[in-house]
Amino acid sequence: MLKTIGATVLAAAAVALTCTGTAQAETNPACPSGVTQIGATKYLKSGSATVASVKQFKGCNKNWGYIYVWDSWKAGHPNFIATVAITRGDGEIDGNSGGRGQQEVWSRGANTLQYCTMAYGTVSGGYAGFTEERC
């Protein structure tokens, strides 16, 4: 009996750790065949609090930028504007801004698979950052 309870508690703790504070939405509506994340996620921070996650994806023969504003930050800052773009480092290639308070934004697809690119995300209030460059 104690073994079963212990295993159940450990399993519940593992699920809680897996789900804590992560951005869940990542379905690109413009690429129905699916996208794959390339490179590491960039976290935009305000002190120790995470404001947003910025990611770069490839799929449908294009690169895509993605930004997700975290629930915990959005709760206290409902009037933000999030923007995301794909860049080659020499300027914006293809970007997109969400509406006021829009939590998830995808860039338009950029025909840049042959180049080294980064996703660049911003959240109004001075939060911005690049993902790592991927070639």
| pLDDT tier at 132, thresholds 50, 70, 90 | very high
Structure tokens given for 74: 């959005």
Phi-psi domain of 70 (left: phi exceeds 0; alpha: psi -120 through 50; beta: other): beta
% the chain with pLDDT above 70: 81
Cα distance between residue 14 and residue 17, in whole Å: 5
Q: Note the pLDDT of residue 89.
A: 73
